[in-house]
């Protein structure tokens, strides 16, 4: 039975991970990881939402995937990224950032293109 829902489970866990990491303070971790890459957090945002799209596509892999489904997953990822940035405005340690929204959206868009290319 688990194998039937394994992709749903993984996609759901990834979404929960994005939520938690978007809303908690990462101050100590960021200080310990002293890698000098400009805008390194944008790569993380990109990767999170690339993974979001790919995992949710894997979840529906047995169903026919048409353009409408692709648009729904893309818009869901972008909307979720915007929601997480808005929610950061209500935390004490995080702040919303339009550049994070762009990184999230870029990751989601590249994820859609990646899945589309693989499925052809």
Reported as a single tens digit per residue, the pLDDT across 27-65 is 655 555 566 666 778 999 999 999 999 999 988 865 667
Helix (H, G, I), strand (E, B) or coil at 36: coil
Residues 88 and 95: beta-carbon distance below 8 Å: yes
Global pTM reads 0.86
């Amino acid at each position: 039975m688990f194998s039937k829902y394994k992709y749903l489970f993984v996609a759901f866990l990834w979404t929960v991970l994005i939520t938690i990491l978007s809303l908690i303070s990462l101050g100590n971790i960021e200080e310990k990881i002293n890698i000098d890459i400009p805008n390194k957090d944008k790569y993380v945002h990109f990767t999170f939402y690339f993974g979001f799209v790919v995992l949710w596509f894997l979840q529906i892999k047995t169903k026919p995937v048409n353009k409408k489904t692709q648009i729904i997953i893309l818009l869901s990822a972008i909307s979720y990224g915007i929601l997480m940035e808005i929610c950061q405005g209500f935390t004490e340690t995080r702040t919303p950032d339009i550049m994070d929204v762009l990184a999230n959206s870029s990751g989601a868009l590249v994820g859609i293109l990646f899945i589309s290319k693989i499925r052809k």
